[in-house]
A = this chain, B = another copy of it.
Amino acid sequence: MTLKDLPFSQGEFDRRIAKTRAAMEAAGIDLMFVTDASNQNWLTGYDGWSFYVHQGVLLSMEGDPIWWGRYMDMLGGRRTCWMGDDNILGYADHYVQSTVRHPMQDLAGHIRELGLDKARIGVEMENYYYSAKAHAVLVEELPQAQILDATALVNWQRLIKSDEEIGFIRNAARISEKVVQTAIDRAAPGVRKNDLVADIMHAGITGVDDIWGDYPAIVPLTPSGLDATAAHLTWNGQPMREGEATFFELSGVYRRYHAPLCRTVFLGKPPQDMLEAEKAQIEGIEAGLAAAKAGNRTCDIANAFLGVLAKYGIKREGRMGYPIGLSYPPDWGERTASIRTEDETVLEPGMTFHFMPALWMDTWGLETTETILIRDDGPAEALCDMPRKLFVKN
């Protein structure tokens, strides 16, 4: 296929395969069945909205990976994966959402043909796209295999980004700046939230010059007032109101790579406790960035932030961030390390996180966040260029 438009060089894909195989060897795994949509893309380039049916990548210790999915999606596989057409396999449509057949029966047949039905097979037990039923069928079909939980084995290989990937995330950051600026500019009393979100989506997908916008793995979160005390409500048709804060949790996306960025807008005069929290939050973010240097740990970032909050008498629990990059719905986090006090992942250059020390209080929410890159030396780089403050519009 001469018409392929692969996002990355072959050297980049080769690097990923080699890295994953080393992790498989260390875990005693002969064959990985990779269902995480982001992991599939990372290993093979596969890109399509077809993850609502069973599909995945088979990676053994030799040869090119195999992408396996619904028959009608083989064409998408041939057009987006770097491997040859022989390594794109499809199952018949009568397996789809059938009550009498299951696609994993077809997959097991391929594993038998590969002579790997007695192998140690790694599966992603904790994944949106590997159902309890899929696992049960695979175990039943391959009684002689040793099926092992290899959740996040591939995700961990994605933690340190290559230069090519960082370039994509920087592109996404240009779009993130545009969407957040759009939200800030358009927010006003009387504006219906859905109309504001429509403008945000439009800004994100048109992108910036040649950096065309892809879809975010999470839709714009834009709650106001009391809704903003809840972390994950989506929009409705209500108008924005004077005297309310609205947080914008948004990300630009370039070829599936994200750079999340959040800011909060207050229409009118903010209450005093919010202004004090703003001060604490911004000082805390600066402390977090300073702690986010190679050799430190993720918990050091969390503790630096919490130390400043404590100074201001604010108590906060929960995660304060996660690695980001390549992602598909329903989550743009990588689900490996976390920025939290109990996580001791050592920071290395090339890691990218959404540092997200949001404050959800009883009557308002305040989100000011950064996508950060761990550098060889010194504090982390905030990849988006956006004033770090509560935006007040009177």
Contact = CB atoms under 8 A, between A and B. Distances in A.
B202 A79 contact: no
A230 interface: yes
Nearest to A196: B205
18 contacts: A47-B233, A50-B232, A52-B128, A72-B318, A72-B360, A73-B232, A75-B231, A76-B231, A78-B230, A93-B318, A97-B335, A125-B136, A127-B131, A130-B131, A131-B131, A133-B149, A195-B205, A198-B206
Contact of A48 (B133, B205, B230): B230
B236 A93 contact: no
B79 A227 contact: yes
A385 interface: no
Contact of A236 (B76, B127, B212, B338): B212
Q: Which 5 A-B pairs have the closest CB atoms?
A: A212-B237, A132-B135, A52-B331, A76-B230, A75-B230
Contacts of A235: 214
A322 B98 CA distance: 12
A358 to B, nearest CB: 9
Q: How large is the interface on A (under 10, 10 to 19, 20 to 34, 35 or more residues)?
A: 35 or more
A160 interface: no
Contacts of A136: 125, 132
A192 B211 CA distance: 12
Nearest to A74: B230
Nearest to A93: B318
Interface in A313-357: 317-319, 322, 329-331, 333, 335, 338, 340, 342
Contacts of A207: 194, 237
